[in-house]
Structure 1
Amino acid sequence: MIIQKVRIKEGYILREFGGEFNIFNEKDGAGAVISMNSINELGCFLWSRLEKHATYNELIQAVAVRNDLDEEESRMEVEELLAKLINAGVVDII
């Protein structure tokens, strides 16, 4: 499958809680998404880009510039977080 766009599913938000950033589902009010550990600084950066509807390629480019990485290293960073978000059911792949 070729990834073009990634969208955060409705109701999911990133919030700071107890000094850590976690993803919460506002709809069920059950607290942080259990299958997701706290989100690191890069994860927060990517989440903010997803909220602005960045494409997959835009995510890779943004990480490359931000972290001074080549495209392959940036792609690996992006795909690692996206895999976690997909497995947790937090995002849709379009």
Structure 2
Amino acid sequence: MKIKSGFMLREIAGQSVVVPLGARVVEFNGIMTLSESGALLWRELEKNSTMEEMVELLLTEYSIDRETARNDVEQFVQSMLDSSLIENV
């Protein structure tokens, strides 16, 4: 998976938000607020990490089991795909 060009993660008033830049402003009207774990996964997507690498990251950062981590990553990725912020490559 890869983040589409024209989207950046920013800290605004203590919140992690994904904002569109340039021409993306027309396509994506608004911003998306991310939780702490969502921002962590976004930063991992910036490195072109795989879903398995994101699962491993959640396992090292949080006290959760593998199934929960996998479900969280799958939900996050689906949400980003549904919002057209990332693409499969």
TM-score of Structure 1 vs Structure 2, range by shorter chain:
0.7 to 0.9
SS in 2 for 1:10: coil
Q: Does 1:63 align with 2:58?
A: yes
- The aligned residue for residue 22 of structure 1 is 17
Q: Which protein is richer in helix relative to its size?
A: 2
Q: Which runs of 5+ in 1 are unaligned?
A: 1-5
Whether the aligned pair in 2 keeps the contact of 1:36 and 1:84 (CA below 8 Å) is no
- The aligned residue for residue 88 of structure 2 is 93
Question: For 1:8-54, what per-residue CA distance to the aligned partner results, in whole angstroms no more than 9, with x for missing partners?
Answer: 011110111233221111123739x5576410100111111111111
Runs of 4+ in 1 over 6 A off after TM superposition: none
Pairs aligned (count): 88
| TM-score, normalization by structure 2 | 0.84
RMSD: 2.1
